[in-house]
Amino acid sequence: MSNSLEEIQKHGQSVWYDNVSRGLIESGELQLLIDLGVTGLTSNPTIFQKAITGSNDYDNAFETLVSEGKNADAIYESLAINDIKAAADLLRPIYDATGGVDGYASLEVNPHLAHDTDGTVVEGMRLFEELDRPNVMIKVPATPAGMPAIRRLIGKGINVNVTLLFSLVAYRDARQAYIAGLEDLKGTGGDLARVASVASFFVSRVDTVVDSLLGDKEPGLEGRAAIANARLAYRDFQREFHTDRFEALREAGARVQRPLWASTGVKNPAYSDVLYVESLIGEYTVNTMPEATLLAFVDHGKADDTIVSDVDGAAQLLDDVAAIGVSMHEVTAGLLSNGVRLFSDSFDELMADIESKRGVLAQA
């Protein structure tokens, strides 16, 4: 009897795990999840902050790095890179079996580079080289400065996970950056078949903000804007990757940039705990789930082709939201700004903790 993750895969969607830690890898838990049907892994600064400061799993490696005279930046990078390398190695059989379609682990550039195109490119290239795995992705935020960085990294044959996508306009720019990067790579004789990208379109955070703005204005619209927004994004994905422009790249070996549904943990306890999974299933997509959402879906989730359901209704719903004074442009712009800030804050807290611990061990 197949499990729910196998069922979701029959509909063309991959399930990735939005979590990483040394303990997850060394305990064998990640391998168990892979055996269950998880085919990729994503991380971010907040996840690493919780992993590194919330456990003793890194103590031995930390002490070694301090004894080698490493500073806080070098310590963080060593710990994070080793985790992503180990995760990628566990996922490598999936990457090989799927011909590079699946089996990726993602590592984000320093969030303080979100508004620095050149800095993002330099760091993305360096991290990709350090990771030294074909099945890793470099996460780049979907800021105005991030878009040209995405193009340049793809143009150099580097796999990119575009993160912090909230608006349909930013998603359009991310697709265009990917396609332009492929064209650049093709122009220099690069192998398009060896490059992969996902576009991480965030979901639950949209409802959190829209619901707060709706208040009691229009009962019945709560908890629906995020799914509508994602379904329109998928509509745009289908259109973009069936154009003559992309077909020329596909013939040269290019693969589509898959939409990845992120922030799929439910924030409002009044909603189904698998709302942002069951509502967004479809071909050529990925859903990266936090632990609670993954376990909930394994326990009682149902898989069906839902991402293409009532796309006209999705457009009408966003029109209805706008008609009562809620601007999706303002909502998504605020979410992007807040997302960059939250990741930067987590990174700064992590670096402060590492520096404090490094100082204590250095004096021991």
One DSSP character per residue, 330-358 reads: HHHHHHHHHHHHHHHHHHHHHHHHHHHHH
Q: From the centroid of its chain, how far is CA 100?
A: 17
Residue type, 308: V
Active site residue 139: yes
Q: CA–CA separation, 361 vs 244, rounded Å?
A: 59
Phi–psi pair at 14, nearest 5 degrees: -95, 145
> Is 54 exposed, middle or buried (CB count within 10 Å of its CB: 0-12, 13-18, 19+)?
exposed
With 0-12 / 13-18 / 19 or more C-beta atoms within 10 angstroms meaning exposed / middle / buried, residue 145 is middle
Q: Which of 50, 70, 85, 139 is catalytic?
A: 139
Residues 176 and 165: their CA atoms lie apart, in Å, by 14
Indicate the DSSP class of residue 193.
G
Euclidean distance between CA atoms 67 and 277, whole angstroms: 45
3-state DSSP call for residue 77? helix
Q: Which residues are catalytic?
A: 139
